[in-house]
A and B are shown apart, each in its own frame.
Chain A
Amino acid sequence: MSANAAAEAARPYNYAYLDEQTKRMIRRAILKAIAIPGYQVPFASREMPMPYGWGTGGVQVTASIIGPSDVLKVIDQGSDDTTNAVSIRKFFEKTAGVAVTTATTAASIIQTRHRIPETPLGAGQVLVYQVPIPEPLRFLEPRETETRKMHALAEYGLMHVKLYEDIAKHGRIAKTYDYPVMVGGRYLMDPSPTPKFDNPKMHRSPALQLFGAGREKRIYAVPPHTDVVSLDFDDHPFEVNKFDKPCALCGATDVYLDEVILDDRGGRMFVCSDTDNCETRRADGHRGELLGNEEPRA
């Protein structure tokens, strides 16, 4: 018996928590999802030692693909240090013995809730999304039999009716999160509650993107270099959110910003939602308004 195997045998649970049979079942679902980009594959979701809403779908996907040589990053709303991100990171440190990181470039697997990192992902990286509601047509057509039929026949006119209603009511497409996309020109997909700002990052990304919905028992995928196109009208084209000001800390202008309340007198600032990106830029010498507006020397 090798040292590794001995350690394995002594562990009170299997490597990465899930038993091997469950992992194989989930991997089969993942492979099917990769083979049919954007198609929601049902899988037998397992109970995880954390409540639904804490990313049990994403955790099961990560647990099924992770190995000892992986380096894991976990973000929640762009941040590495929220309770949710920290506890999932610790969970895999403990159960899978993997190295963890906050650096996007150093990670082989990034599990995320609500954001895609600002730093472009590369080939070989896997982005695992935690998805609460995988069915983009759910609120338009509650009958599951009917939504399945709509996917099977690529009948997606109803999604445009929703966007039509938005423009009729607000003068523009008001949806800023969960913005529906067509994957590979075939399947309508819900990108999970990421801001639409991140939609263009999914398009032809060299990274593998996997989506896990635990409560809803669905896995879907966007393989590398797949077309991901946000729905729109010819005369109301898709646009990403724009921010008036740069990040107060690092001065970045082309990133997604969060509003931070500074005091109870209405003081506030806008800072990078992606904390790793912000820290990296500051380490490189970029300074935002709050830190004295400096640009690094060339």
Chain B
Amino acid sequence: MITDDQPLLTARGITKMYGRHVGCTDVSFDLFAGEVLAVVGESGSGKSTLLSVLSTRLEPTAGTVCYRMRDGEMRDIYRLNEAERRLLMRTDWGFVHQDAREGLRMGISAGGNVGERLMAIGSRHYGEIRATALDWLGRVEIDLARVDDAPKTFSGGMRQRLQIARNLVTQPRLVYMDEPTGGLDVSVQARLLDLLRGLVADLGLAVVIVTHDLAVARLLSHRIMVMRAGRVIETGLTDQVLDDPREPYTQLLVSSVLQV
């Protein structure tokens, strides 16, 4: 998949205004299958606005986002009808929220949470749905004995791993992640990052991950985009940007990480 010469996602001139206030402005990039792109910056840099625009949650003021559908056709995601858009979001895409409560049904069992996407696309065999759910719980290192427990009884790290399993069960090609390790203890973060890195590589996932944490970007991403005040100010291979930042602002970001 990585050898495909067509991008999976193309963003061109993405601008989002909130009245006269700039959310993000003139963002363009290509994302290829299997590629992990980290969007980094401080809060207010426009990285979250960009993620919302890319994931059809927030229509841009200007610019286009195109996605290569499973049939190979590039489609403007804001020109899909609602049924196509919703189908895309629950099959070929995933979205991992920082707050797992936004991405899970807290009163539904872990198995039901993972199985929901399967049932949404027509699975009608309880035994198969459950077997698939158990397989995914195993892959995200959740004790299989917890399959019938609701995530409201889970720890923060478990909830996040369950959210990931719930997204990956339909084998999406693109997953958006919004600060997926935010708010977790350092040791829990490390385990989650390790798991994510393995899954992304095994499944050949393309990922757009928004984070303020450069260590997360370093560990997961191939490429990095640094945003400030709504603009992309530096972009490149992750190791190059983090080891040898050209922009003074990026240098500041990197050095403040080193100080921590």
Contacts and interface: CB of A to CB of B under 8 A. Distances in A.
Interface of A: 149, 153, 155, 157-158, 160-161, 164-165, 167-169, 232-236
Given A165-B109, A168-B109, A157 B120 contact: yes
A155 B148 CA distance: 24
A161 B148 contact: no
Given A153-B82, A153-B83, A155-B86, A160 B111 contact: no
A155 B126 contact: no
B178 interface: no
A161 B108 contact: yes
A165 B121 contact: no
Interface string B202-234: 000000000000000000000000000000000
A234 B125 contact: yes
Contacts of B121: 157
Given A153-B83, A169-B148, A160 B109 contact: no
Interface string B234-255: 0000000000000000000000
Given A153-B82, A153-B83, A153-B86, A161 B126 contact: no
Contacts of A155: 86, 120
Contact of A164 (B83, B86, B112, B117): B112
A182 B30 CA distance: 43
B2 interface: no
Nearest to A159: B119
Contacts of B19: none
B130 A160 contact: no
Interface residues of B, number: 22
A209 to B, nearest CB: 26
A160 B148 contact: no
Contacts of B125: 233-235
B83 A161 contact: no
Given A153-B86, A168-B148, A161 B115 contact: yes
Nearest to A173: B126
Interface in B69-111: 82-83, 86, 105, 108-109, 111
Nearest to B118: A157
A165 B108 contact: yes
**8 cross-chain pairs, A with B, having the tightest CB-CB distances, nearest first:** A157-B120, A160-B119, A233-B126, A157-B119, A234-B125, A153-B83, A168-B148, A235-B127
Given A153-B82, A153-B83, A168 B120 contact: no
B124 interface: yes
A232 B124 CA distance: 8
B35 interface: no
A236 B148 CA distance: 18
Contacts of B124: 160, 232-234
A168 B110 CA distance: 11
A182 B108 CA distance: 23
B127 A164 contact: no
B148 A164 contact: no
Contact of B111 (A164, A233, A234): A164
Nearest to A150: B86
A168 B119 CA distance: 15
Contacts of B108: 161, 165
Interface in B52-71: none
A167 B125 CA distance: 12
B120 A165 contact: no
